[in-house]
Amino acid sequence: MAHRILPPGSTIGMLGDGQLGRMTALAAARLGYKTHVYAPGSEGSPCAQVSAAVTSAGWDDLDALETFARSVDVVTLEWENVPVAVVEHLGRFTPVHPGGKVLSVAQDRVEEKSFVNALGIGTAPWRAARSAEEVARVVAEIGPRCILKSTRLGYDGKGQARIEPGTDPADAWAAIGSDAGIVEGFVSFTCEVSVIVARGLDGTMAAYPAVENRHKDGILDKTLAPARMSAETAAEAERVARRIAEALDLVGVLAVEMFVTPDGGVLVNEMAPRPHNSGHWTMDACHSCQFEQLVRAVCGLPLGSVERVADAEMENLIGADADRWPELMAEPGARLHLYGKAEARPGRKMGHVTRLLPRT
């Protein structure tokens, strides 16, 4: 069946108003598309600053959602925790990518792990838990060193609690602030990597090379592209990402975060059906960046080349790190990206800088 191609001049609806939406809107504008952002309290937001239109309304405002849907040609998102009911409501009036099926898997860690395991893809050992008592039983099963996470929401270390020998399960349960959790056992790994894969309306896929991610205080600090690992492990990481995207019937981009085990295998940690922090390096080091790929995918265009023109190191600017902008602007070869956020707070992503390196 022929798929619908949206020509330049069409309007893309964006659910969510943060920096990922902003960078997608900038990529869309370069290709001749307009962006209309929808989110609660979105006036003056990073995405609103560069969008042609803004709707600031709640996720439960059905009339505003319908008006928004009728004003755009396709809807996508920068945040996978948009309520599934919102996506389904919008889908009555205009195409939405990714759709509710994808979000229902990505929004719940138990659903996510179950989905991945059903594909024959490995993860760390895990169990669902709904009380401190269940946490204690799970820890007894899978080992004394674990991490407890809320099944929904939670990112950049939020909604998580480490469990070590001697940790009181009741304290860990209280710390995540949720009535549903997942306990994941620790695994030995040599590094953390991610693969971002784009998938179009016609099912074609393009995957960026696996990159290495280094975290600080639960937040991504640096991404090294490409990851320093064997060709066989890199190929397996890409295969896993492609398999998940295909099984989800995704249209858009998908980031899959993985652990590389000492024997060169990979275990899936998390996934996100949207542009991802670990893909920001593609803006400066690839022919087509992850944000352009999202635009191409949802508009029915051919996917762009994922070939990199250089190796890269991407550094996040967290909180007061953004105050270094004068020196970063003066640094030869540094590519600075600031997100237009008015207030720098501890743990808040204010921008990033990419440094290009000779291609290996």
Annotated binding site for ATP: 109, 149, 154-160, 184-187, 192, 215, 269-270
CA-based R_g, the chain, Å: 20
Please, are residues 15 and 39 in contact by the beta-carbon 8 Å criterion? yes
Return d(Cα 275, Cα 337) in angstroms, integer. Answer: 16
Query: What stretches of the chain show up as alpha helix (H) in DSSP?
Result: 19-30, 62-70, 84-90, 100-106, 109-118, 132-142, 169-176, 231-248, 282-285, 290-298, 325-330
3-state secondary structure of 314: strand
Which residue(s) pair with 12 in the sheet? 35, 74
Write out the binding residues.
109, 149, 154-160, 184-187, 192, 215, 269-270
Q: Residue 247 class from Cβ within 10 Å (0-12 exposed, 13-18 middle, 19+ buried)? A: middle
Q: How many residues does the chain have?
A: 360
Residue by residue, DSSP assigns 157-176 as TTTEEEE-TT--HHHHHHHH
3-state secondary structure of 279: helix
What per-residue string of b and e applies to 206-226 under the rule 16 or more CB within 10 Å gives b? bbbbbbbbeeeeebbebbbbb
Please, are residues 49 and 77 in contact by the beta-carbon 8 Å criterion? no
